[in-house]
Amino acid sequence: RPDLPTYQLADVSKHNSKESGVWVTYGIGVYDITQFIPQHPGSDKIMLAAGGAIDPFWHTYQQHNTTEILTLLESFRIGNLNPLDDVGTKDLFDPWSNEPKRHPALQPRSERPFNAEPDTSLLIDSFLTPAEIFYVRNHLPVPDVEISDYELEIEDEVTGKNLTFKFEDIKNYEKHSITATIMCGGNRRSEMHNVKAVKGLSWGIAAVGNAVWSGPKLCEILKDLGIESDDKRHVHFEGLDEDPTSTKYSASITLAKAMDPRGDVILAYEMNGVPLSRDHGYPIRVVVPGVVGARNVKWLGRIIISTKESDSHWQQMDYKGFSPSTDWHNVDFLASPAIQNMPVTSAICSPTSKGTVKVVDGYVTVKGYAWSGGGNKIVRVDVTGDGGKSWQTAELEQESNDLSTVSIGRHWSWTLWTAKVPVVKGISDVEIWSKAVDSSYNVQPESFENTWNLRGMLSNAYSRVKVKLNW
């Protein structure tokens, strides 16, 4: 951009606060981002780069490397940096150099950090999702933990009491196995995005999986530390994954959920009977059944019992819902509660809009999953092929162990379902919808229009798929 003025780094560094205006550099571009600060989906972290280069931060947060974001940045361009002041990143340690190998069936939604979901047809092939194709949602590079060095710190902020556990200490506790679904708060975001653009990874319907998680119950460990349940406190979980300022991924749940033996919060070291893989949190992750994926913290390094929620970006400034009228100019993240229990949802996995489906005796077979948060059971899935004039009740496949059949409010696993939907003779295509009903008689909303929110969370409207028929 030779038409623009040239600045020295010293000029840029004077603009490092909201009062003086915020300038940043990227390569040899100089940008005035003052107006954008309140709209940044990554919250105030952006201020770390105020008056300097964003390159080292984006070296880690590579989700910024999209045409959309680079175009947005370019719209703030005010000048060029003296090339001698360009910081570059080639000499920096590459935080992405030690990522695990991934199964090719996982379709990346972003490479760095790695975020991927399996093909929808694979998703419901089995009631338990194999770890290799279980969706991965990472915000930061995957830490590489040496088991002999691993330590888990647990601290009570009120009493100051603080204990450190080695991996073997955790294994000494009684092992419980819980089958639970984990679902990302942004699952099915792409469908909401189709109604009106939202900011976030473009997840399809497969940012969800169901697995057996094994390890001690958190309540048993906390009881041994003398902690008692109370309705005012929270439990923070801090991961070992960190950003360039050594800030760790962190999130929190209520102490009441953690201490409830029927809440089944597990410090899992096994997934489907084998040690956790690196992508899913090796060596230990917390599994908080019924609660949004974001609180199921992987690579667990610290647990803090506190009078406040976690103040992390991901607890306070992300993973929240808003009114459809809230936009990036008037959003107040702190005024909305953090998502915990997830709402009821279902999705059609087969057939998909890509292929054709065979009509047999006037019917097509439709399959999918349904799930509700908070331990609510799925009691019915309704499927229609005629815009809701007639509904077919799906056959349900559910976990049949004592926990889920006898206990109310502990239905942590998803339900797989199959429905036969009649189609009118000779038509070439059909639109199929599904809606699930849970044990509180919560039903999915009909459309995304009235539940749209700027971050594309809680995207749980009817699942709708247009399918070509093969007679």
From ligand HEM, ligand MTE, none, interface partner of 298 (C-beta below 5 to 8 A by class): ligand MTE
Q: Is the distance from CB of 97 to CB of 112 less than 8 angstroms?
A: no
Q: Cβ 323 to ligand MTE, closest distance in Å?
A: 23
Nearest-angstrom CA–CA distance, 414 and 375: 10
- Local structure of 63: helix, strand or coil: helix
Beta bridge partners of 16: 22
Is 219 among the catalytic positions? no
In this structure, are strands 378-384 and 392-393 parallel, antiparallel, or unpaired? antiparallel
Contact between 298 and ligand MTE (CB under 6 A)? Answer: yes
Nearest-angstrom CA–CA distance, 356 and 465: 12
Of 24, 221, 348, 423, the one binding ligand HEM (CB under 6 A) is: 24
Contact between 342 and ligand MTE (CB under 6 A)? Answer: no
Contact between 139 and ligand HEM (CB under 6 A)? Answer: yes
Tokens of 124: 């419901």
Contact between 137 and ligand MTE (CB under 6 A)? Answer: yes
From ligand MTE, ligand HEM, none, interface partner of 114 (C-beta below 5 to 8 A by class): none
Which span (54-62, 142-150, 220-228, 378-386) binds ligand HEM, by CB under 6 A?
Answer: 54-62
Of the listed 40, 77, 102, 103, which one is catalytic? Answer: 40
User: Which C-beta is closer to ligand HEM: that of 200 or that of 289?
Assistant: 200
Is 184 among the catalytic positions? yes
Tokens of 80: 């060029």
Question: How crowded is residue 418: how many other Cβ atoms within 10 Å of its Cβ?
Answer: 16
Q: Cβ 183 to ligand MTE, closest distance in Å?
A: 7
Of 293, 343, 368, 456, the one binding ligand MTE (CB under 6 A) is: 293
Q: Which residue is nearest to ligand HEM (CB)?
A: 42
User: Which C-beta is closer to ligand HEM: that of 207 or that of 255?
Assistant: 207
Nearest-angstrom CA–CA distance, 393 and 424: 18
Tokens of 268: 């899992």
Of 51, 79, 200, 281, the one binding ligand HEM (CB under 6 A) is: 200
Tokens of 46: 């952006």
Cα–Cα nearest to 150, from 300, 13, 338: 300
Distances (CA, A) of 311 to 6, 175, 222, 234: 39, 31, 22, 11
List binders of ligand MTE among 253-292 (CB under 6 A): 280
The total number of residues written for the chain in this structure: 471
Of the listed 109, 112, 137, 188, which one is catalytic? Answer: 137
Scan for tokens 């600060």, then name that residue: 37
Q: In 297-336, which positions are buried (b, 16+ CB within 10 angstroms) versus exposed (e)? A: bbbbbbbbbbeebbebbbbbbbbbbbeeebeeeebebeeb
Of 296, 340, 415, 444, the one binding ligand MTE (CB under 6 A) is: 296
Of 27, 45, 86, 102, the one binding ligand HEM (CB under 6 A) is: 45
From ligand HEM, ligand MTE, none, interface partner of 116 (C-beta below 5 to 8 A by class): none
List binders of ligand HEM among 225-284 (CB under 6 A): none
Of 192, 294, 457, 461, the one binding ligand MTE (CB under 6 A) is: 294
Is 64 among the catalytic positions? yes
Distance from chain centroid for Cα 165:
28
Residue 32 host element (H or E): strand 29-32
Cα–Cα nearest to 331, from 40, 18, 64, 21: 40
Of the listed 184, 188, 278, 380, which one is catalytic? Answer: 184
Nearest-angstrom CA–CA distance, 385 and 49: 53
User: Which C-beta is closer to ligand MTE: that of 11 or that of 125?
Assistant: 125
Contact between 297 and ligand MTE (CB under 6 A)? Answer: yes
410-439 mask for ligand HEM (x: CB under 6 A)? ------------------------------
Nearest-angstrom CA–CA distance, 416 and 374: 18
**Please, is 360 exposed, middle or buried when counting C-beta atoms within 10 Å of its C-beta (0-12, 13-18, 19+)?**
exposed
Nearest-angstrom CA–CA distance, 427 and 424: 6
From ligand MTE, ligand HEM, none, interface partner of 7 (C-beta below 5 to 8 A by class): none
Contact between 293 and ligand HEM (CB under 6 A)? Answer: no
Interface residues with ligand MTE (CB under 6 A) are: 134-140, 182, 184, 239, 241, 249, 280, 293-294, 296-299
Residues with catalytic function: 40, 64, 137, 184, 319
Binding residues vs ligand HEM (CB under 6 A): 24, 33, 40-42, 45-46, 48-49, 54, 57, 61, 63-64, 69, 72-73, 139, 199-201, 313, 318
